[in-house]
Structure 1
Amino acid sequence: MVRVNNGRSNVANAAARAKTRRAGLIDSTRMRQLLQQGPDTIGISIGDMGYRNEIDLYAPRLSGADLIEAALNHNLDADLETVLGFCQGRLKSTVAVYVKRFSYQNAKTVLRAIHSGADIEMVSGQVLPEENTSNSKWLDIVRNCDSLSDAVAAMSGTPWGYALSRLEADASLQEMEDTLDSAYYRDALDAIRGPDSPPLLEKYIQVEIDHRNIINQFRGLRQGINGEDRDALMIGGGKISKAVLKTASMADSNEGVLEALRRATSFDDTGFDDAIQASATSLDPVVSLLQEQRNSMMRRFSYLNPLSAFPVIHYIESKVLEVQNIRLLVRGKAAGLSDEVIEAHMNL
């Protein structure tokens, strides 16, 4: 578990550097310009927008959307390392709590690869490219483990490994993934709570938990998961009470779930009716609405707290969003989707 320490921080310097980096990200205007380009020219343009080194690294063996996605992920990993590197003391520990989520995501990726029996050549070539040295420890697990239980043992000594070790030996992949989600948020909240901890960061993480639970409610209903099992999917620690979530789990329609959620004073239902109506074939409108709520909250917290961890975390959030948008764009182009459909799925 990451613990927030009280060492000397360099908040002013780190916040200034984070703001400068955020100003250099691809804005909505340039993202829409990318959307107008053909598949053959998007890679060149993205290279000129800060991803040249990674594209050149993977170009000898990858092309098209696979090339761009590998470059995006590599660039993001390097960026996270750089940002943590220019943070010091308590600030670094606070930012590390947020960044640790990406390790939990990689743990899930490894478990999925092992569970599916994916060939190590495919994993190291596309899923966790070996050119990215931060993938080495994850690839070693895939290479040396034949079962999920082997993988759990190989992850011992890590927070995610500890969480998995507490499950039954025959736990399913889904149970492991659910455990990792819950463990990350539980550990994150434990790490940042305290008399000198940033209360607004705790609030933000609680909102993230609520949003994960809201999405799981609607997704579970769509998938026909019964109320008891939907309730078991809920992650603890959010602002929305267990009682409200349980009531939502028992609902048998989108309207019923929404009605239950509205009983929580912390639930912002602005735009939800329209998002639900637009979600006949996909939950993307709901996901996008919640993403925008978090983006707005992060912008506000960063603006109101310029000498804090928020400008740094705001940059990381913005960088992740940039990577997600480009990934959606190139995958959508590769699938032959129209520009209108692709843009509707992006967060601009």
Structure 2
Amino acid sequence: MRLLQKFKRGSSSDAKGHTNYAYTVSRVRAMKSKLLPKETYPRLMNMSIDEITRFIGESGYKEDVDELAMKYDGVDLIEHALNRNLSVTFRKLLNISEGEVNFLIAEYLKEYDIWNVKTILRGKYCRASTEEILEALVAGGTLTYTFLSGLAGKETEDVISAFEGTEYYPIIKNYDGTNLSDIENQLDKLYYAGLFAVAGGSKSKDRKLFAKFIRAGIDIKNLMILFRLKKAGITDPQMMNLMIEGGLEIGQKDIQRLMPLPFGEFIEELDKYSYWKEISDIVNPGMQSLIDVETRLKKYRLKSAASFSHVYPLSIVPIMDYMLTKQNEVNNLRIIVRGKEANLSDEIIREQLVI
């Protein structure tokens, strides 16, 4: 089984077509206005899983819950409804956009292709059930749900063969059952290399803004990796292969300098970067958990995207801001539901929410 399932938005030459930013951004603003307000989350914390299901079934997730209620219930229903909604939302963005903005959105959404490839391979590696794999799939990129769901029950060799002819095949064909982390890392790097390939070297204002948005996200991703390594006492320079190139403030030379440092010296060096002011009051050498740090960095990412969006109101930025905010809403709902299912305390659930 080979994959040729692609959106018609597929080449840089198509990206030079007409782009009506006023129309696309106005539609996106209308979509953003329907996101759950911050005040919703404390209410959800006081609800049971059945009550949360009813609540989201009466909100913007109604169609998704209604569609899936005959097949799933409880946490499974919410998980599948959230994933379906995210997929439908992002495909709507592709349908309402044209020209360059459409092309850039499609490239950004390949993040979900990577997520799904990794999800299927990791599911096979962990001997997860077909249903467990399906529950984690989000068909928000160029790969269709029909194609992806068809792979959930197949053997690993057949999964790999199905991607022959795609940009992912040269990487995943080297999977031998023991090197999954390396394969996942290579897929992540392929994704960012693709984003920079479409954004780099262009005089287009929107491609430059797109690149800046992506580079800021790389900084956050690399910072969180560095924190985890330092907290675990890992200073091996070989861990550089985990880092993504192209950060906005924290370049490869910065990372090379930070990588060998123990945790205490590492956090002392962070005051050189704008991110430090967002986490300085909670970071110390004796801290036991990094949850607060990761939550703060994610909040900063959202806040920066919103601010960036106001500066460039008729550009790709408000669209990227909406996509990031929508992803965060789904993640918050998932955190609450999974936390309740695992009988976690409200305090533990609350500290993981990005509000």
Q: d(CA) in 2 for partners of 1:344 and 1:279? A: 19
The higher-RCO structure (CA 8 Å, 6+ apart) is 1
* Among candidates 346, 349, 352, match of residue 342 of structure 1: 349
**Other structure's SS at 1:143 match:** coil
1:20 correspondence with 2:27 = no
- Structure 1 counterpart of 2:103: 93
1:211 maps to a residue whose letter is I
CA contact (8 A) 1:77 1:134 kept: no
Q: d(CA) in 1 for partners of 2:244 and 2:205? A: 22
2:316 maps to a residue whose letter is A
- Structure 2 counterpart of 1:6: 16
CA contact (8 A) 1:110 1:142 kept: yes
CA contact (8 A) 1:2 1:97 kept: no
Deviation at 1:234, TM superposition (A): 1.0
1:202 correspondence with 2:211 = yes
* Among candidates 306, 309, 313, match of residue 306 of structure 1: 313
CA contact (8 A) 2:278 2:300 kept: no
Q: 1:251-303: CA deviations, max 9, x gaps?
A: 122x222234445xx54310323232499443221111111221122111211
**What are the within-5 Å matches in structure 2 for residues 1-348 of structure 1?**
3=12, 5-124=15-134, 126-128=135-137, 134-147=144-157, 150-165=158-173, 172-193=179-200, 194-198=202-206, 199-239=208-248, 240-253=250-263, 255-263=264-272, 266-277=273-284, 280-348=287-355
1:102 maps to a residue whose letter is Y
Deviation at 1:74, TM superposition (A): 0.7
User: 1:279–1:305: structure 2 CA closer, same or farther, 3 Å change rule?
Assistant: farther
Corresponding residue pairs, total: 339
Q: d(CA) in 2 for partners of 1:289 and 1:129? A: 25
**Over 4 Å off, 4+ runs:** 167-171
Q: d(CA) in 2 for partners of 1:203 and 1:146? A: 37
Q: d(CA) in 2 for partners of 1:200 and 1:129? A: 26
Deviation at 1:171, TM superposition (A): 6.5
Q: d(CA) in 2 for partners of 1:45 and 1:55? A: 10
Paired-residue identity, %: 27
Q: d(CA) in 1 for partners of 2:181 and 2:26? A: 41
- 273-282 vs 103-112, which moves further: 273-282
CA RMSD of aligned residues (A): 2.5
Q: 1:117-136: CA deviations, max 9, x gaps?
A: 33335434x33499xx9322
2:214 maps to a residue whose letter is I
Alignment gaps of 5+ in structure 1: none
1:323 maps to a residue whose letter is V
Q: d(CA) in 2 for partners of 1:293 and 1:3? A: 32
1:179 maps to a residue whose letter is Q
What TM-score comes out, normalization by structure 1 length?
0.89
Q: d(CA) in 2 for partners of 1:37 and 1:169? A: 45
CA contact (8 A) 2:282 2:293 kept: yes
Alignment gaps of 5+ in structure 2: 1-9
What TM-score comes out, normalization by structure 2 length?
0.87
Deviation at 1:141, TM superposition (A): 3.0
Q: d(CA) in 2 for partners of 1:251 and 1:292? A: 26
User: 1:129–1:209: structure 2 CA closer, same or farther, 3 Å change rule?
Assistant: closer
User: 1:146–1:164: structure 2 CA closer, same or farther, 3 Å change rule?
Assistant: closer
User: 1:118–1:40: structure 2 CA closer, same or farther, 3 Å change rule?
Assistant: closer
CA contact (8 A) 2:65 2:78 kept: yes
Q: d(CA) in 2 for partners of 1:327 and 1:279? A: 30
Q: d(CA) in 2 for partners of 1:129 and 1:84? A: 16
